[in-house]
Structure 1
Amino acid sequence: MRTVRLRITMRDVEPRVIRVIDVPAAVTLAELHQLLQVALGWTDSHLHLFMADGVRYGVPDPDWEDDLRPRDEARVPFHELPARFEYLYDFGDSWEHEVEVVGAGGEGPGCVEGEGACPPEDCGGVPEYEHLLEVLADPSHGEYENLREWAGELLVFDREATDVLVRQTVGQVPESVRIVLDLLAGGVKLTPGGRLPRSVVRAVQERRPDWYPLDRPASVEEDLPPLAVLHDILRKVGLARLARGVLSRTRVAGDDVEVVRRLRRWFEPGGYEEMLATTAVAVLAASGPLAREDLLRRVVPLMGVGWGVDGRALTDEEHESSLSRMSAELRALDLLSGAWRTWEAGPFACTLLPRATMLALLFAGEPPW
């Protein structure tokens, strides 16, 4: 994976906040936004913009006037920007960052070095942050105890933890996906019914025995529900292609960055299923294995309001039904593992869904249940 080294400096903040990170050269601006958030220590709770040579990039909003509406960051490769540009986060507090390309990166993504803690979210911008630091430096100040309890643990920069977060946010190809793609490398002739042959089914069962609850060899891909789902996923996201009855991996399946990008699109960004999957995976990553019923009791309240169908809000039972229906997809992508009655975070729970990575960190620090 070819990487590029970036130096990010937060403007007008003392003590200085600087991060030097290596990111994949092929990222889009939307993906870079996620990496900057975890590298700096923000929680992606507010709007943001990139600005370069007088052009604004961000998430398009139809309510903005045409001359203010930014270009869609999801469609802009990072390499189209100049070697120095701006990143603005939280239009209320107005945190400004200078991003500079300093050269080629190392063998993989990560946080190379840094200094200074990220200001707490919603602290009021630079002036109020200065006031916060003054109070925390004076134990005799009347606001000291309250502010120390609120912000004390946040004002720490941990390079090793940040390095892990950057790498997790870049993502990894789930092992289950790699297993199937490797089996398809030379092309596999499907059955007359269009399903994977028994040899492939049993090869996958050997690597993923928990995908078949019965203690006997599987015969068809439907015996392994996550495999049947993964077959569908790989074809729909363009990582596998069927031609003349033979299923084979596509050219882009050899590019890890593109594989992760396409798998992430399986859940519509910002959509209901992405939110449900992300919340469930984050809860499991933070809490450990849970019975299905216990997981649902924690996840449903966190979904909040606003999800509906035909003009009415979804019920708790509909949230539960949706999550149960999605379980095979989550297992197929190594986001979920363990026994069928006891759910636990899969080995790639924190490396495929960026929001799950951030939520798991927040939940581990202060669980909302």
Structure 2
Amino acid sequence: MIYQLKITLRRTSPPVWRRIEVDDRTSFRSLHKLIQIAFEWYDYHFHEFQVRDPYGPKSTRFIESRIVIGNLETDIDYKFYVDQVFDENHAFLCDWLIREKDKCMYVYDFGDYWEHEILLEKIKPAEERDSYPRCTKVMRGAPLEDSGGILDKEIEIDENDELDRINMDFAWLYMGMDVGK
């Protein structure tokens, strides 16, 4: 199945977001790489995904869940602030986002603490004529890497050119790889 995800950089006004479509078996590590491409960042900083137990009680705050999916190859000692941590290389979207409207958080750059809400908008069958992953919508330019956080001024981009750039980079990243790896 294909997941249509809307990834919104929080605390931006007007909102900065990307809509992407990925295989439901995509790992969180691969999703991290796709987000980096979609926002034109270069993976200079630590990151993590904050998730809820999909079968547990619904909480309105992710911090209450204390479940993190992260890169276990870093020097971050997660045990001091989370109850459970899962390796992003072996954690897959279909295990954590199981219903439309399910959400998780992606935090990039723990200094600037860029929070992204990832919303599962739609679950649909793959279209034979389409290739995945793909970006279907870009809304506004993202802040530059190491810019010190969210800027008050909007970054102007040509959204069609940006969509083309993202999809070319997605294709390059996944060249020769099976979808969902």
- The TM-score, its normalising length taken from structure 1, stands at 0.38
What is the CA-CA distance between 1:41 and the residue it aligns to? 1.8
User: In 2 relative to 1, CA 63–40 (structure 1 residues): closer, same or farther, beyond 3 Å?
Assistant: closer
What is the CA-CA distance between 1:173 and the residue it aligns to? 2.3
User: In 2 relative to 1, CA 62–43 (structure 1 residues): closer, same or farther, beyond 3 Å?
Assistant: closer
Per-residue CA distance 1:331-365 (angstroms, 9 max, x = gap): xxxxxxxxxxxxxxxxxxxxxxxxxxxxxxxxxxx
- Alignment partner, residue 131 of structure 2: 108
Whole-Å Cα distance in 1 between the matches of residues 156 and 114 of structure 2? 16
On the 8 A contact 1:119/1:155 being kept in 2, the answer is no
What number of residue pairs does the alignment pair up?
153
SS of residue paired to 1:37: helix
Per-residue CA distance 1:265-320 (angstroms, 9 max, x = gap): xxxxxxxxxxxxxxxxxxxxxxxxxxxxxxxxxxxxxxxxxxxxxxxxxxxxxxxx
Segments of 5+ residues of structure 1 without an aligned counterpart are 135-153, 175-255, 262-369
The letter for the 1-side match of 2:175 is: Q
The answer to whether the aligner puts 1:16 opposite 2:15 as a matched pair is yes
Whole-Å Cα distance in 2 between the matches of residues 165 and 14 of structure 1? 27
- Alignment partner, residue 94 of structure 2: 79
Relative contact order higher in (CA < 8 Å, ≥ 6 apart):
2
- Alignment partner, residue 141 of structure 2: 117
1:1-369 equivalence runs, <5 A: 2-53=1-52, 54=65, 55-60=67-72, 61=74, 64=77, 66-68=79-81, 70-82=85-97, 83-103=102-122, 104=124, 106=127, 107-109=130-132, 110-126=134-150, 129-130=151-152, 133=153, 155-156=156-157, 157=159, 158-169=162-173, 171-173=174-176, 256-257=178-179, 261=181
Whole-Å Cα distance in 2 between the matches of residues 99 and 47 of structure 1? 18
Whole-Å Cα distance in 2 between the matches of residues 63 and 12 of structure 1? 25
SS of residue paired to 2:116: strand
Per-residue CA distance 1:219-265 (angstroms, 9 max, x = gap): xxxxxxxxxxxxxxxxxxxxxxxxxxxxxxxxxxxxx337xx5xxxx
Whole-Å Cα distance in 2 between the matches of residues 20 and 121 of structure 1? 20
Whole-Å Cα distance in 1 between the matches of residues 172 and 17 of structure 2? 20
Please tell me whether Structure 1 or Structure 2 has the larger radius of gyration of its CA atoms.
1
What is the CA-CA distance between 1:125 and the residue it aligns to? 1.2
Whole-Å Cα distance in 2 between the matches of residues 62 and 119 of structure 1? 26
Per-residue CA distance 1:81-112 (angstroms, 9 max, x = gap): 13211010000111110001111265322111
Whole-Å Cα distance in 2 between the matches of residues 56 and 29 of structure 1? 11
What is the CA-CA distance between 1:66 and the residue it aligns to? 1.9
Structure whose residues are more often helix by fraction = 1
Whole-Å Cα distance in 2 between the matches of residues 4 and 10 of structure 1? 19
What is the CA-CA distance between 1:165 and the residue it aligns to? 1.6
Whole-Å Cα distance in 2 between the matches of residues 43 and 155 of structure 1? 20
Whole-Å Cα distance in 2 between the matches of residues 173 and 63 of structure 1? 32
The letter for the 1-side match of 2:131 is: G
What is the CA-CA distance between 1:76 and the residue it aligns to? 0.7
The letter for the 2-side match of 1:66 is: K
Whole-Å Cα distance in 1 between the matches of residues 40 and 156 of structure 2? 10
Structure whose residues are more often strand by fraction = 2
Segments of 5+ residues of structure 2 without an aligned counterpart are 53-64
Whole-Å Cα distance in 2 between the matches of residues 63 and 26 of structure 1? 26
Give the alignment's Cα RMSD to 1 decimal: 2.3
